[in-house]
């Protein structure tokens, strides 16, 4: 006879089971929070070193330089059994200094640092200390980083220039560094890095409105004065936390609570970094907010450092890789990419500047995942690092990096990497137009006005009332710090939690997943999350509406605008167009006149480039085959990398100027039947690199064959 189920009794069993489980989870939850407080205190006691999982040695301590800064250069030590190829391009990783400490780019084996080590690159890490040197500026930091890169180049004389990976805030700092000293860097990788601060989509990117609603840079000056010349990075972290209140106040904690048996280590490791608060000088934060976040001067070519050096992104000479994500609510794709539109205007201008720009937009990964290298972004980081040499030899232009599952039996690659040519319109389709950026122009003017008033009338009083004691007292009272002190071993009342947690782990009894109260708990949690998300959406839409009504007002734009008159602006634009037209004509004439210059190396490289780009897609397999040909060829293998790269850039521009004429003049470079036959054989190998002969490649091969008379 089957067992009879009594609904009420089953409900009682579920209730008892859930009560035991929830009580145990609560005790374990508070024990993890206690450990979070202890970890914070221990990290402070150790002066908050980088949270790297890799061993490293400090090579240059920036605090000992002639102009000291709180930055240092370190070398990442390979794991046991790992081999570093000293002839490979060094990889330099710089983490963001935006309230948090360094090391998040190396907290996992499959991080940027870990993947670079696996690929046998020498890896370096530029990190910073908790407290800045009084009076240090971003110019001082930039100059120190230049010194670091020069030291790396000395250590690797037989390798190409180091590739620099800049994460988030470090990305725009890296771009400024590359624009100031393009001679010491290789390809630059900007991961989740904002360079276009006014850009965004209506209703989706509320963070860009905060500066205007707060009145501009004066608030940063005020907080710096309260800190006795030091700006507390915890304020920046709090700003990011408030961006997503559901995650901050509920979801993050509930995720730990519901997965308490498996989530502890990951949670504590992340909180160690997230809860490490680093400071800036008043000079640094003022420059960042005034010139970048509010002033948006970097993409406008109006950036001027404190040492009077002008920074123009058009001075970038090395390839730039931009990695963004549509799931990033801190640096949306528009802020990561629109500078390309503003700085260059067209793909033709990118080519004339002999620049290579590559971008990749992930569909869903969040901001931190872009440079933490989580499982969903592992392949992107792996292929970016593994494609550095290829990117350095791409023809000038704008490309999207596309990664597909590997199906190339010849190369045996896990992924198939392609670089597909793109236009400015492909970037603009990610935006809803740039007209909304006009509302930010009066913000920049009003910000300078407010800050001037504050500096003249209020700052002296605040600084007079501030002492080192009050500054430190206010820092320690910050809500992000004070929440960690009471729930730690500093508080003797927390001691029983550790003892109870140890006992709970011995007798842990999780509830069954189909327990009805577990389902009710999840529904309750979802309700809280939805309420907080609703609050966030209403808040963000309200702030956006207030911002547009205030700064989009024609009267405000009329009075708070330092732009030139319409007539003067039209005349300046006309002069720019005249200069641009003249430059285009001179550029075309220069490359047309060089069509017949060179010999066998120039001719072969021209053919290889033409074939590789015949279908407007550069496949990594084609690069690998080309690289093997060059390394084994008796003439080409003797060329120095710098000379070879120079020829590639020159032949790329010759092909882009007039490909038909460039092919017709190959007979002037390949002078003997033997050279022509050998060059055509090489062309066939490149065309078949991916085991697929596209129609465009077939047609071009026929044209080259007829031109060379083979």
Residue 649 main-chain phi, psi, to 5 deg? -65, -45
The answer to the question of residue 571 being in a domain is: no
Separation between Cα atoms, residue 355 and residue 395, nearest integer Å: 8
Q: What is the CATH number of the domain that holds 326?
A: 3.40.50.1820
Helix (H, G, I), strand (E, B) or coil at 653: helix
Separation between Cα atoms, residue 620 and residue 608, nearest integer Å: 13
Same-domain check for residues 606 and 540: no
Q: Which domain holds residue 370?
A: 56-196+309-433
Q: Largest alpha-carbon pair distance within the chain?
A: 99
Same-domain check for residues 471 and 419: no
Helices 641-657 and 600-612: crossing angle, nearest 10°?
60
Same-domain check for residues 10 and 85: no
Same-domain check for residues 472 and 497: no
Tell me, what's the pLDDT at 576?
A: 62
Provide the whole-model pTM.
0.91
Tell me, what's the pLDDT at 410?
A: 46
**Alpha carbon separation from 356 to 173, 402, 643 (Å, rounded):** 19, 16, 18
Q: What is the DSSP string of 422-457?
A: --HHHHHTTSS-SGGGGGGHHHHHHHHHHHHHIIII
Rounded to 5°, the CA angle 159-163-166 comes to 160
Count the helices and strands in the chain (H runs, E runs).
Answer: 32, 15
The answer to the question of residue 138 being in a domain is: yes
Same-domain check for residues 213 and 113: no
The answer to the question of residue 581 being in a domain is: no
Same-domain check for residues 531 and 555: yes
The answer to the question of residue 573 being in a domain is: no
Rounded to 5°, the CA angle 539-526-376 comes to 85
Tell me, what's the pLDDT at 9?
A: 58
The answer to the question of residue 246 being in a domain is: no
179 token code pair: 């624009």
* Strand 617-619 to 415-421 pairing: antiparallel
Same-domain check for residues 504 and 469: no
Same-domain check for residues 63 and 1: no
Same-domain check for residues 120 and 189: yes
Tell me, what's the pLDDT at 584?
A: 72
Separation between Cα atoms, residue 39 and residue 648, nearest integer Å: 52
371: nearest Cα among 387, 385, 353, 358: 385
Same-domain check for residues 496 and 517: no
542 token code pair: 């309200």
Tell me, what's the pLDDT at 334?
A: 96
Tell me, what's the pLDDT at 553?
A: 87
Query: How many CB atoms sit inside 10 A of residue 17's CB?
Result: 17
**Alpha carbon separation from 181 to 55, 69, 149, 310 (Å, rounded):** 30, 19, 10, 12
The answer to the question of residue 301 being in a domain is: no
Same-domain check for residues 327 and 316: yes
Same-domain check for residues 21 and 162: no
End-to-end, the C-alpha distance of the chain in Å comes to 91
Tell me, what's the pLDDT at 89?
A: 94
Cα-only R_g, the chain? 29
Number of domains into which the chain is organized? 4
Tell me, what's the pLDDT at 302?
A: 80
Q: Which residues of the chain have pLDDT under 70?
A: 1-9, 373-377, 406-413, 561-581, 583
């Amino acid at each position: 006879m089957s067992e009879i189920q009594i609904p009420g009794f089953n409900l009682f069993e579920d209730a008892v089971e859930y009560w035991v489980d929830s009580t145990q989870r609560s005790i374990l939850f508070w024990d993890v929070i206690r450990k979070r407080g202890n970890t914070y205190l221990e990290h402070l006691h150790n002066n908050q070193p980088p949270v790297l999982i890799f061993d490293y040695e400090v090579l240059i301590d920036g605090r000992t330089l002639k102009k000291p800064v709180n930055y240092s250069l370190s070398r990442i030590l390979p794991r046991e059994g790992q081999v570093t190829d000293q002839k490979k391009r060094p990889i330099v990783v710089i983490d963001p200094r935006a309230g948090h400490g360094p090391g998040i780019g190396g907290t996992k084996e499959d991080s940027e640092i870990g993947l670079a080590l696996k690929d046998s690159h020498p890896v370096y890490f530029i990190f910073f200390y908790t407290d800045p040197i009084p009076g240090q500026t971003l110019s001082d930091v930039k100059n120190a980083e230049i010194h670091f890169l020069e030291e790396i180049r000395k250590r690797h004389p037989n390798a190409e220039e180091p590739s620099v990976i800049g994460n988030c805030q470090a990305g725009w700092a890296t771009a400024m560094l590359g624009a100031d000293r393009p001679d010491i860097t290789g390809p630059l990788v900007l991961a989740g890095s904002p360079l276009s601060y006014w850009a965004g989509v209506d209703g989706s990117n509320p963070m860009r409105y905060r500066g205007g609603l707060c009145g501009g840079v004066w608030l940063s000056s005020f907080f710096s004065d309260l800190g006795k010349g030091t700006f507390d990075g915890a304020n920046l972290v709090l700003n990011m936390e408030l961006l997503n209140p559901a995650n901050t106040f509920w979801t993050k904690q509930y995720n730990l609570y519901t997965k308490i048996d498996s989530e502890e280590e990951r949670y504590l490791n992340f909180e160690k970094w997230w809860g490490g608060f680093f400071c800036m000088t008043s000079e640094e934060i003022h420059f960042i907010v005034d010139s970048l976040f509010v002033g948006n001067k970097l993409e406008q070519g109006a950036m001027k450092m404190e040492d009077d050096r002008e920074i123009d992104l058009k001075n970038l000479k090395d390839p730039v890789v931009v990695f963004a994500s549509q799931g990033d609510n801190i640096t949306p794709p528009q802020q990561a990419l629109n500078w390309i539109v503003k700085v260059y205007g067209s793909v033709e201008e990118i080519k004339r500047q002999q620049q290579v720009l590559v971008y990749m937009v992930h569909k869903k990964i969040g901001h931190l995942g872009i440079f933490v290298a989580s499982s969903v972004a592992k392949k992107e980081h792996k292929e970016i690092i593994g494609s550095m040499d290829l990117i350095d030899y791409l023809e000038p232009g704008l490309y999207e990096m596309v990664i597909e599952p590997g199906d190339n039996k010849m190369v045996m690659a896990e992924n198939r990497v392609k670089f597909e040519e793109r236009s400015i319109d492909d970037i603009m389709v990610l935006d809803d137009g740039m007209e909304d950026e006009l509302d930010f122009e009066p913000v920049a003017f009003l910000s300078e006005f407010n800050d001037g008033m504050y500096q003249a009338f209020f700052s002296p009083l605040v600084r007079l009332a501030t002492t080192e004691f009050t500054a430190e007292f206010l820092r320690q009272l910050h809500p992000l710090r004070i929440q960690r002190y009471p729930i730690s071993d500093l508080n003797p009342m927390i001691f029983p939690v550790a003892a109870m947690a140890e006992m709970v782990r011995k007798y842990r009894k999780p509830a069954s997943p189909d327990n009805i109260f577990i389902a009710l708990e999840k529904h309750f949690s979802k309700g809280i999350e939805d309420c907080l998300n609703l609050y966030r959406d209403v808040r963000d839409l309200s702030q956006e509406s207030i911002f547009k009504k205030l700064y989009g007002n024609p009267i405000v734009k009329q009075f708070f605008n330092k732009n030139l008159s319409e007539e003067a602006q039209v005349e300046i634009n006309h002069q720019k167009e005249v200069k641009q037209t003249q430059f285009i004509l001179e550029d075309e004439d220069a490359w047309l006149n060089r069509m017949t210059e060179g010999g066998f190396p120039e001719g072969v490289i021209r053919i290889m480039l033409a074939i590789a780009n015949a279908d407007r897609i550069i496949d990594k397999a084609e690069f690998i085959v080309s690289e093997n040909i060059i390394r084994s060829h008796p003439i080409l293998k003797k060329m120095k990398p710098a000379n070879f790269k120079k020829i590639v850039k020159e032949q790329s521009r010759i092909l882009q100027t007039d490909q038909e004429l460039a092919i017709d003049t190959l007979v002037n470079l390949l002078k003997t039947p033997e050279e022509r036959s050998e060059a055509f054989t090489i062309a066939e190998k490149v065309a078949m690199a991916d085991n697929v002969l596209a129609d465009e490649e077939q047609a071009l091969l026929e044209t080259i064959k007829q031109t060379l008379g083979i």
